[in-house]
Amino acid sequence: MTAAAPGARARRSPLLPMLAVAVVAVLLYLPLMVWANYGPAARSLASGADLGCPTALACATQLRNPVLPSPGQLAGGFGALSLPPTSPLSAPYNAVVTGGETLLGLALAVVVGLGLAVLLVASRSFERSTLPWLVASQTVPIVAIAPMLAVLLGQYGVQGFLPKAIIAAFIAFFPIAVGMSRGLRSPDALQLDLMHTYSASSGQTFRLLRFPASLPYLFTALKVAATAALVGSIVAEISTISFSGLGKMLAENSRASDTIALWVIMVYGAVLGVALVGIIGLIERVATPWKART
C-alpha cells in the first residue's frame, strides 16, 4: 500500500490547524481580557465607584461594560440575546434576516458582475471606458452612500428588505466582475488556438473553454464578495430605517452602551460570514471536482 502524498494529507485534514488556532486563541483570551479591563476597573475604583469587588484585578471580570467580556459574561449575553430564537428581538432571528439580505444582495451582485465580466472580456473599448468608473464606484464610503441609495430607492417605492440587498450588491459586484474577467482570460493561446482549429464559434469557446476555466476564479471572488455583501447589509441596516437585522441590533445596543451585547452580536455576524463562505466552498467542491484532485 502506497502512502498518501503530503499534499493529499494536508487537504484531508484542514481541521487540525483550525483547532490549533482555536486553542491558542482560547489560551490568550483570558490574559488579554484581564489586561484590557484592568485599566478601566482601576480608574473606576480610584474615582470612588462601588464595583462590588475589592481590587482592580478582581473587578476585571465583573465590569458592567467591559472592554473584553469574561467567558461568564459572554455566556450570559448569548443566553439573553439568543432565547427564544424565533423572537424578533433575538440575535438568531435577526441573523437570519441579515443573512437573507446578504444572499439576495450576493445574487444580484453575481448577475451584474458576470454580465460586466463578459463585456469587459468581449470588448477592449468597453473595458477602457468602464473599468475606471467601476473602480471609482468602490471608493465611495458605503456609510455615506447607503442612506442616499435608500432615499433614492424609496422614491420609487422600493422599501424594506430590497434596499439593503441592493446596497449589499453595490459593494459585492466589483470583486465578482474583476475575478470573473480574469478567469475568462485565463486560457492560454494554445488552448484558444486549439478551439479555433476545431472551428469552434465564440459562443462554443466561451461555453467549453473560457467559462469552465474561470470557475475557480469565480468562487474565489464569490468568497470575497460574500463577506463584502454581509458588511454592506449590516451597514445598510445601521444607516437606514430598519426594524430587524444585526445592524439594527448593533445600533440599538451601541446607543445603550451595552458592550457585552455588542460582542455577542459581532460573534453572530462572524459566524454568519463563516457560514456563507463555507457554503460557497461546498458548492465550489461540487462544481469544480477537478480542482480537488490537483
**Each residue's pLDDT tens digit, 140-164:** 888 878 778 877 877 777 777 888 8
**Each residue's pLDDT tens digit, 194-228:** 888 877 788 788 888 888 889 999 999 999 999 99
Domains of the chain: 29-68 (no CATH), 91-293 (1.10.3720.10)
Asked if residue 167 lies in contact with residue 232, where contact means CB atoms within 8 angstroms, the answer is yes
**Each residue's pLDDT tens digit, 248-277:** 999 999 998 899 999 999 999 999 999 999
Q: Which three cell numbers stand for residue 265?
A: 452580536
The percent of residues in the chain predicted with pLDDT above 90, rounded, is 44
pLDDT at residue 7 is higher than 80: no
Mean pLDDT computed over every residue of the chain: 86
Higher pLDDT, 160 or 56: 56
The label of the residue with cell 483570558 reads: 30
Neighbours of 229 (CB within 10 A): 31
> Cβ contacts of residue 229 below 8 Å, gap of 6+?
102, 105, 106, 109, 168, 169, 171, 172
